[in-house]
Amino acid sequence: MSTATQPPSATPIDPELPAPLSMGEVLRVPMMRRLWYAQIVSVFGDFLALFAVIGVLTFRLHATPQQVTGVQIAYMLPIAVLGVLAGVFVDRWPLKATMVSSDSIRAVLVLLLIFAHRPWHFYLILAAISVVSSFFSPAQGVAIRSAVPLHGLRSANALMQQVMFGMRIIGPAIASFLVASFGPISCYALDSVSFTGSALLIGSLTFMASAPKPAASSEEETGSTLGKIGRDMKQGIDFILHHAALLFVILAMAAGMFVMGCFGPLIAVYVRDSLHASTRSFGVVSAMIGLGMLIGVNVLNTVGNRLSNTLQVYSGLFGISVGLGILTALPYVAATILGNLLIGFSVAGIIVPSQTLFQEATPPELLGRVGSTFMSIIFAAQIAGLVLSGLLTEYIGVRQVFALCAGMLLVLMAAGKLWMEPKAPTAETGS
């Protein structure tokens, strides 16, 4: 069986597809609407808990930059390591059971944050939550693909990203208010409730039966369990390596996420040390990233069909570089708001086309494996950025790290143009 190495022509991308569905039309699909509601509930709680943890470490425990970045590393490392393996099981397990059990387990684990009082307490608990999340995320991607026709995927992804970006706007402000007024326990409790609500919504869905999988060869049937898992993982990786457009977008997104890994957690340190501002200011400027993302995803959903995925990705990388340049040169609250808005807008230019291309180009039987491999690469890139930023900040300072990241993006854009961009077909083929 060679499904993983099929050429792109085997993927269900048809120029005769109907006109793309709008967000409103996608939301009329009952299954998609429930998945969207579950995303709203769950992500809202996640952002409350995450910003509460970062706020506690930064402003109460007076954590070092490395300790602050350690929060993100603890959450992303299990996903980066287990992602490829998790996709193999997602392609085999029932979707509903996988998603509901994942939400239910995380609802319990997040309550352990109530008893965390040292940085390593937070790291262990967030890592445990991440292990479970490594199964939920690819399962959600498969569910969206099964719920929405191909010509509705762009709007479906935009809707799900709207939730992420919208909650990034209100999450920091609400978390800052709750931590200041009622303590971080309120955020952890709300996150547990949100996971429970998401599990109930997903549990109410009726998932369509998955398409029958191609018959396994005699060699695959007689192999050991570990051998079968290894072959399944290789299929997903091979498909990515043999699909030039998908490989380029994944690598470009990894480059952007590497820089965002350097930038993300250090914004709290930047607010404290460069702006000399308060927790509330941190909530406001962090929310601007989400606002920029929300604006970007809506703009791209409207005009994105007229722009190539490549152009959107390049524009996104360049925009992030410019935003980081603003933060480096102008350490003022107003300039930080502008820079974060631009960074958020530009990130949307990378995320939306990459997710849509992945879902359009991947055969249904490989969605879990390809999606989890995609996720593993992205999280690994962010971890690399987090580790590097924590080390560099101790020696050169936060603003200098931002400047270095902006320069790296420009170099990576040039490298992408020279080596990572898919080649246009030659004109030698007969007509």
Where residue 342 sits, what CATH number does that domain have?
A: 1.20.1250.20
N- to C-terminal Cα separation, the chain:
31
Counted domains in the chain? 1
In this prediction, residue 103 carries a pLDDT of: 92
349 located within any domain: yes
In a domain, 211, yes or no: no
pLDDT > 90 fraction of the chain, expressed in percent and rounded: 8
What is the sign, positive or negative, of the torsion defined by CA atoms of 257, 258, 263, 268?
positive
Q: How many CA atoms lie within 13 A of 331 on its CB side?
A: 17
Q: Is the pLDDT of residue 297 over 70?
A: yes
Please report which confidence band the pLDDT of residue 419 belongs to, taking 50, 70 and 90 as the band edges: low
In a domain, 225, yes or no: no
Backbone angles phi, psi at 218, to 5 degrees: -65, -30
Each residue of 168-199: pLDDT tens digit? 667 767 877 887 788 888 889 998 999 999 99
Is the model more confident about 420 or about 32? 32
The separation between CA 369 and the C-alpha centre of its own chain, rounded to angstroms, equals 16
Q: What pLDDT sits at residue 222?
A: 53
The 10 Å Cβ neighbour count of residue 29 is: 17
Structural domain range at position 264: 21-205+230-420
* 196: its two tokens: 């429970």
- Write down the pTM of the prediction: 0.67
C-alpha 17/C-alpha 12 separation (Å) is: 10
pLDDT of residue 248 exceeding 80: no
Residue 137 — pLDDT band, cuts 50, 70, 90? confident
| pLDDT, position 228 | 66
Residue at 182 is within a domain? yes
Answer yes or no: are the C-beta atoms of 323 and 339 closer than 8 Å: yes
The per-residue pLDDT of the chain, averaged, comes to 76
Q: Is residue 12 part of a domain?
A: no
Q: Is the model's pLDDT at 19 over the cut of 80?
A: no
CB-neighbour burial class of residue 411 (10 A; exposed 0-12, middle 13-18, buried 19+): exposed
Return the ∠ at Cα 27 (arms to 22 and 29), rounded to 5°: 110
